[in-house]
Every structure is written in C-alpha cells, then in structure tokens.
Structure 1
Amino acid sequence: MIRAHTLLAADAPSGPLVTARLGYDDRHRRRLAVSTDGGERVLIDLAEATRLRDGDRIAMDDGRILAIVAEPEDVADIFAADAPALTRLAWHLGNRHTPTAVLADRLRIRRDHVLEAMVERLGGRVEAKLAPFDPEVGAYHDGGGHGHHHDEHEHDHAHAHGHDHHQGAHTHRHGHHDHHE
C-alpha cells in the first residue's frame, strides 16, 4: 500500500493529484488507510495526529499528492435575522463545545435535534442538508494533536456561567469529561 506522509503547505508545488473523501470523524488522524476516488488504497501515515481540512494535500511516496475532500454528511445550517443574533447563537453553540463551521452568512453543525431545538427557541432557523462539515479548529483543538487539557484549569461551568452546561441537572466540571472532536 502506498504511503501519504507529509502535510504540504498551501503554496507547495503540486504533483499529480489523487483524491480521498473523508467525513469529519476520519479527518483527525495520524494513521489511517483510505480508499481514493479511483479505488486505490493509501495509508495516511503522518508524524502526529492532525486535523485534516477540506483541500489539505499530503505528499505520497511515489511523488503524487493525496488531496483531502470533506465528505458530505448530515449537517444543520443555522441562520439568524442579523449578525448580532447569529453571534449569539454561535456563543451558545461554543458554550456547549459544539464543533461549528462559520460560513459567510450562517453556522453549520452536525445534525443534533437537541441543539437544533435550542437554536429555534433562541430565534434561529435551521436547515437540514447533506454537505461537507469542516468546523473551526478551536484554541484547545489546534489540529496538531495538542488536545484540550482540562486538568490544568479545573472550574465549574455552572458557577462560571450561571447555569448548568447541558440540558440536564448535573453540574459540568472540567476534568470529569472527555472532548472528542
């Protein structure tokens, strides 16, 4: 199996392209066997776990370039009446650690009926569709494998934000849960 090993800079010279379509869950990896659009098996073998974005290119052993394409998946596009309302919705999604893509006039999340209902209660409009999901890379999820280390800053979201972190009655405490992007 041919190996794809080095993530290329956006301005790197390009060789012959081979494309592989990957969903959001498969684009944060160090090592993964994938099928290209042409049916060839390629081993993505990077030095460290990396958040691959739509359009990223990886050098292959034979001189070709593996281009990553974000596979369409079930998403919800979120619209609001104006920029301040959309910003408010973005804050609520971020407060719930929801991976979110920020697009020109809307937000995009993965389908989640609880979050969609919250958005609608807050005055937003939700449009379900099949589209690529390429969320923002957050401060704690930089794409370089440096996860969100809660042990360094334990605090109580219920106290800090004046509410519980999720819809349930429990208190959300950092250090007692996992983040998976």
Structure 2
Amino acid sequence: MIVGNEVKRRGQWTNAADTITLDETQRHRRRMAMVTDGGIAFLLDLSEATLLRDGDAILFDDGQIIEVKAKPEPLYEVRGRDTAHLVALAWQIGNRHLSAQVFADRLLIRRDKVLREMLEGLGASVSEVEAAFDPEGGAYDESARHGHHHDGAGR
C-alpha cells in the first residue's frame, strides 16, 4: 500500500497527481487508511496528529503529491455591527472553546442552535452557509509555527 508520511504546506509543493477532499474534522489525522478523489488508496501515517489545511499536500513514499481540499460543510456566518462588536462576538465564541474561522468582516463557525440564539441575542447577524471550514489553529497549531498564514482572500 502507498504511504503518505509527510505534509507539504500550501505554497511548498507543485504538480499534484490527485486530490483528496475532506471536511475539517476529517482533515485532523495522524494515521488512517484513505482514498483520494481519483481512487488512489493509501495509508496516511504521520508522526503526530496534524491539521491538514486547504491547499496543503500529502507526499507519498513513491514521490506522488496529493492536494488536500477542504470540503464545504454547514456553517454559520456571523457578522457584527462593526469591528468592535465582531471582536466581542469572537471573544464569546472563544470563551466557549469553539473553533472559528476569522475574517476581517465576519466569522465562520459550526452550526449549533443554542450558539446561534446566544449570538443573535448579543446583536449578531447569523446566516446559514455552506463553505470550506479552516478555523484558527490556536497557540499549539503546528502549521501556525511553520509559517502558515491566511492568503487574505476575504480576510
């Protein structure tokens, strides 16, 4: 079986042989049998659990590179009245230890009815969207320590 044992971060690779499309939960792995979008079966075997981000790649032991794509999933888009309000809303989400993707003008979070009611009660505008979810990794996120940064598209 082909083994994927190295992650190349976005911008550190070229010429993918195939893609694998996974939601955010599926992209946080260490060891697992997987199948690419084109049908290549492989074993992901990393030294530690890693969050694979959209645009990263998995390097196979045979030299092939497989691009990781983030699968759209059901999310809430959260908007505030202004920047200060959005920051306060982000604090409320973070205070509950929930994952959030942060943009300059909005947040993306997983759908949760109770959280939606709380945010709307705080004056947020909350709408349902289907989008790729690539939340902030936090202080212990390996990709953050190795130069991961958002490309600014919409952020």
* TM, length-normalised to structure 1: 0.73
CA RMSD after TM alignment: 1.6
Corresponding residue number in structure 2 for 1:142: 141
Task: Indicate yes or no: 2:120 matched with 1:112.
Answer: no
How much does 1:84 deviate? 0.5
Deviations 1:56-97 (A, max 9, x none): 112112211111111111110101111001000000000000
Deviations 1:120-153 (A, max 9, x none): 00000111111111100012x4248xxxxxxxxx
How much does 1:12 deviate? 3.0
- Residue identity over aligned pairs, in percent, reads 46
Q: Counterparts in 2 of 1:69-108, with a 5 A limit?
A: 69-108=69-108
Deviations 1:12-44 (A, max 9, x none): 342433110111111111112222111222221
| Letter in structure 2 aligned against 1:6 | E
Corresponding residue number in structure 2 for 1:151: none
| Letter in structure 1 aligned against 2:141 | D
Corresponding residue number in structure 1 for 2:29: 29
* Matched residue SS, 1:120: helix
Higher relative contact order (CA 8 A, sep 6+): 2
Counterpart CA distance in 2 for 1:25 and 1:143 is 16
Q: Given that residues 79 and 86 in structure 1 are in contact (C-alpha distance below 8 angstroms), is that contact kept between their aligned partners in structure 2?
A: yes
Corresponding residue number in structure 2 for 1:45: 45
Which 4+ runs in 1 deviate beyond 6 A? none
How much does 1:11 deviate? 4.3
Q: Given that residues 102 and 136 in structure 1 are in contact (C-alpha distance below 8 angstroms), is that contact kept between their aligned partners in structure 2?
A: yes
Structure 1: 5+ residue stretches without partners: 145-181
Larger Rg: 1
* Matched residue SS, 1:25: coil
Q: Given that residues 49 and 143 in structure 1 are in contact (C-alpha distance below 8 angstroms), is that contact kept between their aligned partners in structure 2?
A: no
Q: Counterparts in 2 of 1:62-73, with a 5 A limit?
A: 62-73=62-73
Counterpart CA distance in 2 for 1:70 and 1:130 is 12
Counterpart CA distance in 1 for 2:84 and 2:112 is 23
Counterpart CA distance in 2 for 1:128 and 1:11 is 31
Q: Given that residues 52 and 143 in structure 1 are in contact (C-alpha distance below 8 angstroms), is that contact kept between their aligned partners in structure 2?
A: no
